[in-house]
């Protein structure tokens, strides 16, 4: 019986804390909504002053009225609800830095095929063979400037030619059977 009472007491305290937090959030939501109404009635000059007050720096040059309001509202929401977590801020910083600055992804080396190479690809039950020349690609007796043009002719869609013929970095799946080789094949 004592355990039931203690359990209900802690549950009630949790509910009170949750209710207080909800009330604070609702008050903050009302405050932010009122601020939005107030901001929509301000001139651009007044908005720039509000930006300076909240951000403690002048707004970027030529920032539109809409973006001024969005930046101010974000700052107000941040103060009312708290900002981003440290993990989220770190993730955004890393994304903004880009993969090249972190050394994670390097551009793929260009694909170079020797003249005389034959590429074979099966597409919807039909086997297609192209021959690489020094000045282009030969398919069905006609010359084309790139593998992508040939892939587009075969599929009717815009494919990456090297990917279509299995020359990319990704391993081939069970449906594509591209092979490279010299001579007859």
CA–CA distance, 137 with 150 (Å, rounded to integer):
8
The share of the chain scoring above pLDDT 90, in percent, equals: 18
CA distance 140 to 159: 19
Which range (5-9, 12-16, 36-40) has the least confidence? Answer: 5-9
pTM reported for the whole predicted model: 0.41
Long-range Cβ contact pairs of 119-128 (< 8 A, separation 24 or more) = 119/147, 119/165, 119/166, 119/167, 119/178, 119/179, 119/180, 120/177, 120/178, 120/179, 120/185, 121/154, 121/164, 121/165, 121/166, 121/176, 121/177, 121/178, 122/175, 122/176, 122/177, 123/154, 123/155, 128/154
What average pLDDT does the chain have?
Answer: 77
pLDDT band for 47, please (50, 70, 90 cuts).
Answer: very high
Structure tokens at 124: 């919807």
| Interval 97-121: pLDDT, tens | 776 555 566 666 677 788 888 988 8
- Compute the average pLDDT of residues 72-84: 85
Using DSSP, state whether 151 is helix, strand or coil: helix
């Amino acid at each position: 019986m004592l355990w039931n009472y203690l359990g209900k007491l802690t549950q009630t305290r949790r509910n009170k804390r949750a209710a207080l937090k909800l009330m604070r959030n609702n008050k903050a939501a009302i405050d932010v909504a009122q601020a939005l109404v107030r901001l929509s009635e301000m001139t651009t000059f007044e908005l720039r002053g509000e930006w300076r007050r909240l951000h403690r720096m002048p707004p970027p040059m030529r920032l539109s009225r809409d973006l001024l309001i969005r930046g101010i509202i974000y700052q107000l929401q941040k103060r009312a609800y708290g900002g981003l977590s440290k993990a989220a801020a770190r993730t955004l910083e890393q994304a903004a830095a880009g993969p090249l600055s972190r050394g994670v992804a390097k551009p793929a080396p260009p694909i170079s095929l020797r003249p005389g190479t034959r590429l074979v690809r099966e597409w919807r039950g039909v086997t297609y063979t192209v021959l690489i020349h020094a000045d282009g690609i030969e398919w069905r007796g006609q010359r084309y400037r790139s593998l992508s043009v040939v892939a587009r002719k075969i599929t009717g869609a815009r494919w990456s030619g090297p990917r279509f013929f299995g020359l990319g970095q990704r391993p081939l799946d069970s449906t594509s059977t591209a092979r490279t080789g010299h001579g007859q094949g």
